[in-house]
Amino acid sequence: MSVVEEPIWLTQDALRQLQEELELLVREGAEDEQSQVRALELRGIIRRAQVGERPDDGIVEPGMRVTVEFDADGSRETFLLGSRTLLGADSDLAVYSPDSPLGQAIAGLLPGDRFSYAAPSGATIAGAVADAVPHS
């Protein structure tokens, strides 16, 4: 059974930066474990890279800039669902992993859909997806 890997949408500039980082690690030998892990991660991202505009289907999935509104206090939070690797070094946008409790709770939802999940503290967090657009 094969695993279907979703493409990772990147700008041409972001892909170039990742390729340069990988080339530097390879030139330097990537001998320590942290460098080897990073090189492996970069190869996986580059292999799955799709350059261009991500289709805007409104579905919450990795690579989307998502805004959620929390029921408890009405606060909103906007973040990238994905990996910090997908952001430029100068971005201050928060990043949530698709594997985080929030990421799992909102995956596949559309704006207006409600979610809830158990926080690590045991509290139930509830809210709604306010917006989901491709991160550019």
Q: Any idea which of 68-77, 84-93, 108-117 has the lowest mean pLDDT?
A: 84-93
Give 38-78 pLDDT, tens digit per residue. Answer: 888 889 888 887 777 666 678 898 888 899 999 999 999 99
Give the mean pLDDT of 95-124.
93
% of the chain surpassing 70 pLDDT? 85
43: left (phi over 0), alpha (psi -120 to 50) or beta: alpha
pLDDT band at 1 (very low <50, low <70, confident <90, very high): very low
Contact between residue 88 and residue 48 where contact means Cβ atoms under 8 Å apart: no
Give 70-81 pLDDT, tens digit per residue. Answer: 999 999 999 988
Whole-angstrom distance between the N-terminal and C-terminal Cα of the chain? 33
Q: Any idea which of 2-16, 27-41, 53-67 has the lowest mean pLDDT?
A: 2-16
Where helices occur in the chain by DSSP H, the ranges are 12-27, 33-48, 101-106
Q: Which residue has the higher pLDDT, 73 or 12?
A: 73
